[in-house]
Structure 1
Amino acid sequence: MQPHTLPLAAVGIITAMLTGLVACTSPQPTEPTEQTTEQRQQDRPPASVAADLGRVEIDASCTLNARSRIEIGTAQLHHMWYTKARESFQKAAAADEDCAMAQWGLAMTYYTPLWAKPYPEDLEAGARAAQKAADLGGETPREKAYIDAVAAFYDDYENRSHEERAKAFEEAWKQAYEQDPQDVEAASFYALAMLSTIPPTAEDVDTQRQAGAILEDVLDQEPNHPGGHHYLIHAYDNPQLASEAVEVSRDYSELAPAVPHALHMPSHTFTRLGMWDESIEWNQRSEEAARRNPVAGMDYLDLYHAQDYLTYAYLQEARDTEAEKVAQRAKEAQNPQPHTASAYASIAIPARLALERRDWQAAANLEPLHPETIEWEKWPYIEGIKHAARAVGLIELDELDQARVELDKMAELQQASAEMNEPYWNGQLQIYQNVVRALLADAEGNTAEALAGLRDAATSQEALGKHPVTPGRVIQASEVLGETLRENGQAEEALEVYVEALDKRPNRFRAVYGAAVSARAAGQGDVARDYYNQLLDLTAKSDGDRPELKEAREFTAVGGGASSSAD
């Protein structure tokens, strides 16, 4: 199915209508009036389709006005549009003070599975709403199950770990799902909860497949369900599964053409598959939609998240000028939200620009896009990326003493990170330190030590997997290993490393180029020519002057040779 593109004017109108509208299949909201439970049951409308949000069905025991808001809010929850969803549930609560499901929805907005752990103030607000929902009480078995599910996450939050509460949330949604397997809302939230309890240090294909099967069944029952689309992309966000999500990725953008995160989500699949044109298209639209909506434009996962993915994709096609423009727009954006995603993008974007293009001076002098407005002490494991990029640049510039200073700073941040229960990010920072140590060893002539360290770093990084917040690591240890092997006369082994890396991450510029140069150094002219041609195809839209492309053109023009003069 081909992606559907709306005129900008039409999208603007849709965006303005998102909150407070439902499709013509639902009656228009009216002002709340005093109603008995029996009256509320009698005027219940059929399941609604929120305007350009997808089809949801909650059927809450509340006034007509509140029910309409709850269905919109639930659709927004499925899009992870938490700021908008909170507004919708607050309006539902104002429309019907006795509506337990409005409070259920409010509690749901303070937990953001797959993103980051709630801050203490969010836990407190979510727990208040969950308790109020429980006090009001659900009037149907379904409502009771939903309220129990959100209560399971907030129960005793001051004394239980996030992991314990996330698992309780999953188990409670499992009970709601098993109570009625045909309930697509419960099925969707159960699948999301399953994905959110996969350890962040591993990509659990079995659990991802299990969640995916539930979500495929959701879409069989309701093809326009937002959670079915969104969470299925997350379920298959894995090198082994991504190809199974191409169709649903394209469909999702049609389902919600004005929701920034819905426009971004297909790029998770396209990034895994190295489909850079598609990733660029959807992240462009996501960034534009975020800018058109003042609330979403300030939302960390809408604007900065799309900009990081967009920068990454442009760099793989050597569209360096376009990547620089994205970085400038990200730098000019105001008030980045205090969240992992905005902090990460602030450092990852300039680091990618420097390291992917081998601009060692820029790497050595790296600064985040928002050095003053982000409280970096909250994210020492992300601040460490800045020092890792600086260290790599300094080593390449043969400023080894200064590189050791950056390494010491990484060790300090690692110690601060150890106090935080963030195994993925802490693990990634440790890997970056190991890469820097290995490069220092290589620069000092300790080749065996360097290669052993890089092999360990590459293995650890592959085992760690990829976090949803990032399109790819800022430093790919396997590529550093391949380059170090080749520079130390082990071109054939380097080629094997690059081939394996490309199997997991297709069409990465540095890996394709590394494979070409390694094959050339190993005397495999035909193989080198194939990879050089692949690089030229990959960068057909290049707007920069990378020397690698000149090398590729010269090699392919003369038919290739056996030796390498690269680097």
Structure 2
Amino acid sequence: MKPKIVLFLLGMFLHLISCKDNAMKPNPALATIDFLRGDLLLCGSGQFGELKFSLSCNYETRADFDLAVALLHSFQYTDAEKAFVKVIDADPNCPMAYWGVAMSIYHAAWFPPSEKDLKKGRQVLAVAKELSMDEKQRDYINAIDVFYTDWQNVDHSTRAKRFEMEMEKIHLKYPEDVEAAIFYTLALYSTRDRTGKEYKNEQKAGKILESLFEENPNHPGIAHYIIHNYDNPVLAHKGLETARRYAKIAPSSSHAQHMPSHIFTRLGIWEESIESNIQSAESARCYKQALNINDGFFEELHAIDYLVYAYLQQGDNTRAEQQYNAIKTATAIYPLNVTAVMYPIAAIPSRLALENKNWKRAANLQLQETGLDWGKFPWQKAIHHFAKALGASHTKDYALAEEEIKTLTKLHQLMIAENDPSQFIQVNQVEIQLKTAQAWLFFTRKDVENGLAFMQEAVAIERKTSLHPLTPGDVLPAMELLGDMLLEMNKPDEALIAYEENLSKTAKRFNGIYGAAKAAKNSGNLEKATHYFKQLIELTKNSNSVRREVEEAKEFIAHS
């Protein structure tokens, strides 16, 4: 062989080796990013739905990438990130894997990311933007990048809106891209009007998702986001069919087992809500076992909050207390970075006292120790002080009631001072609780005029405030409490109007139905009284309820 040919072939060989080495050499910046790694915690059969994202990279990593996206769609963010990082480790030049990590720490439908996560998102996307990619991949990377850009100076809501606008561009540019449409609807949900009740974004998103569902019947994101967008009293009926399908689409997801109960709760379908959350809690315990923790686990606590609420609406105190007993001794919670994990810790004991009008129990509630500073969770902490304030007023411990109202006032002022647009619902809810507590303090002190005025102010705020998606319902709705006050004032006709308005928004509530029956009876409307008392008996027929209201209903029907 001629020397020139030998040198040429040797040069080509060395060049190929060099290219290969360069391709496989990891970016040094990756070592500075605190990626989540480790085995995925996939309980059950490991089924999280079916999808195929056309923008995955190497064929060898496609299954991991699609699993990561499926986990992302069911809000299993920790495992989603691990799965995307697995793709990065196998193919560090895959830009969409970095996109997936950035999406996994955004938590679009949840609370805003922490400062640590925002810094991480910038790091991850800085690496991604240096990679070679096609135009469509670049569009996806740039879309999520606008959320993390200048996060130190631009508020969360503005950056979320930027992301929504970029996802709309991608959806319109690539109308055949199912994932683009789905992630656009998630972006719409994240920027919805959180206090209003027109549900413009939710209806727009729902229309897009419904158009995709028939051809993608096992896609976890479509079903999941339909439920989220219809999780309100106005649109809930549109999500019932989907709610009954989602758990079967992603049977291994604890969140997928739970989410249908949001629709069941809005519609007052308590048996299905209970079954949904029993399955969700069981799935969550599987994850606890895999994590080797005994702490209060968010998914389990969230499911139990919904279970307690559903059992209470059936008048089933026994089963509600059993659920509370399962978590009330937890002295630590997991994960620590989920703000929402503190909500059920405060809400569940408050519900048990208030729904039963057990004012002494409410006045003597103690905050459960979790190892975290309750002062950092003003919204959740306010629920506890609201319950104590109502309990104190009704037991005529006015000094305690005043003390609790002062605490509520401070918590409300603290939340206002934070000036966080993503917390508008929570701020309004604390204000409703504050005015309600003030109303009942006046009322129980025989200052009826001020009591009624404050109660009506609370109702006015409640009318324009949407329910937070985390909660199955307020521990006691202001409108229902207005009905209680009017009934005590011997104004049964006005009380009936209040109860019925509340029932139109919070279907089949035990206290609302009983209140409506009592108001109708006292006003002489025996037809309506019969209707509501029968409804109360039907509501509680499978619960062996021992609440006195059920006995009263049975006696009325027996003698009517």
Distance 2:335 2:463 in 1: 30
Distance 2:526 2:361 in 1: 34
Letter in 2 for 1:81: Q
Q: Which residue of 2 aligns with 1:58?
A: 53
Q: Which residue of 1 aligns with 2:350?
A: 351
Query: Does the 8 A contact of 2:405 with 2:434 survive in 1?
Result: yes
> Does structure 1 residue 497 correspond to structure 2 residue 492?
no
Query: Does the 8 A contact of 1:351 with 1:389 survive in 2?
Result: yes
- Equivalent of 1:323 in 320, 327, 336: 320
Question: What TM-score does the superposition give when structure 1 sets the normalisation length?
Answer: 0.87
Q: Which residue of 2 aligns with 1:393?
A: 391
Note the C-alpha offset of 1:114: 2.0
Q: Which residue of 1 aligns with 2:130?
A: 135
Letter in 2 for 1:123: L
Q: Which residue of 1 aligns with 2:12?
A: none
Query: Does the 8 A contact of 1:308 with 1:348 survive in 2?
Result: yes
- Equivalent of 1:375 in 373, 376, 379: 373
* 1:210-241 Cα shifts (integer Å, max 9, x gaps): 11011112213322111110001111112121
* 1:392-433 Cα shifts (integer Å, max 9, x gaps): 011111111210011011112222222321211111111101
Distance 1:181 1:299 in 2: 43
> Does structure 1 residue 144 correspond to structure 2 residue 138?
yes
Note the C-alpha offset of 1:146: 1.3
- Equivalent of 1:113 in 102, 108, 111: 108
Q: Describe the shift of the 1:486–1:204 C-alpha distance in structure 2 as closer, same or farther (beyond 3 A).
A: same
Q: Which residue of 2 aligns with 1:213?
A: 207
> Does structure 1 residue 409 correspond to structure 2 residue 407?
yes
* 1:322-368 Cα shifts (integer Å, max 9, x gaps): 11111122224552333232111100011001100111121111123
Q: Which residue of 1 aligns with 2:363?
A: 364
Query: Does the 8 A contact of 2:258 with 2:303 survive in 1?
Result: yes
Q: Which residue of 2 aligns with 1:511?
A: 512
Distance 1:34 1:190 in 2: 37
Letter in 2 for 1:492: D
* 1:68-96 Cα shifts (integer Å, max 9, x gaps): 21111101111111111011011111111
Q: Describe the shift of the 1:308–1:250 C-alpha distance in structure 2 as closer, same or farther (beyond 3 A).
A: same
Stretch deviating more after TM superposition (232-241 or 372-381): 372-381
Note the C-alpha offset of 1:459: 2.1
> Does structure 1 residue 310 correspond to structure 2 residue 307?
yes
Question: What TM-score does the superposition give when structure 2 sets the normalisation length?
Answer: 0.88
Letter in 1 for 2:492: A
Instruction: Report SS of the residue matched to 1:56.
Output: coil
* 1:519-545 Cα shifts (integer Å, max 9, x gaps): 111112221121111101101122442
Q: Describe the shift of the 1:372–1:76 C-alpha distance in structure 2 as closer, same or farther (beyond 3 A).
A: closer
Q: Which runs of 5+ in 1 are unaligned?
A: 1-32, 38-49, 560-567
Distance 1:530 1:321 in 2: 27
> Does structure 1 residue 280 correspond to structure 2 residue 274?
yes
Letter in 1 for 2:242: V
> Does structure 1 residue 89 correspond to structure 2 residue 84?
yes
How many residue pairs were aligned?
513
Note the C-alpha offset of 1:165: 0.5
Structure of greater Rg: 2
Note the C-alpha offset of 1:257: 1.0
Taking only the aligned residue pairs, the percentage that are identical comes to 38
Note the C-alpha offset of 1:377: 2.1
Q: Which residue of 2 aligns with 1:452?
A: 453
Distance 2:370 2:211 in 1: 47
> Does structure 1 residue 229 correspond to structure 2 residue 226?
no
Query: Does the 8 A contact of 1:218 with 1:225 survive in 2?
Result: no
Query: Does the 8 A contact of 2:227 with 2:243 survive in 1?
Result: yes
Q: Which runs of 5+ in 2 are unaligned?
A: 1-18, 24-44
Q: Which residue of 2 aligns with 1:9?
A: none
Letter in 2 for 1:357: N
Q: Which residue of 2 aligns with 1:521?
A: 522
Stretch deviating more after TM superposition (275-284 or 116-125): 116-125
Note the C-alpha offset of 1:206: 2.3
Query: Does the 8 A contact of 1:35 with 1:63 survive in 2?
Result: no
Distance 2:130 2:236 in 1: 43
Query: Does the 8 A contact of 2:296 with 2:327 survive in 1?
Result: no
Distance 1:404 1:75 in 2: 50
Q: Which residue of 2 aligns with 1:196?
A: 190
Q: Which residue of 2 aligns with 1:122?
A: 117
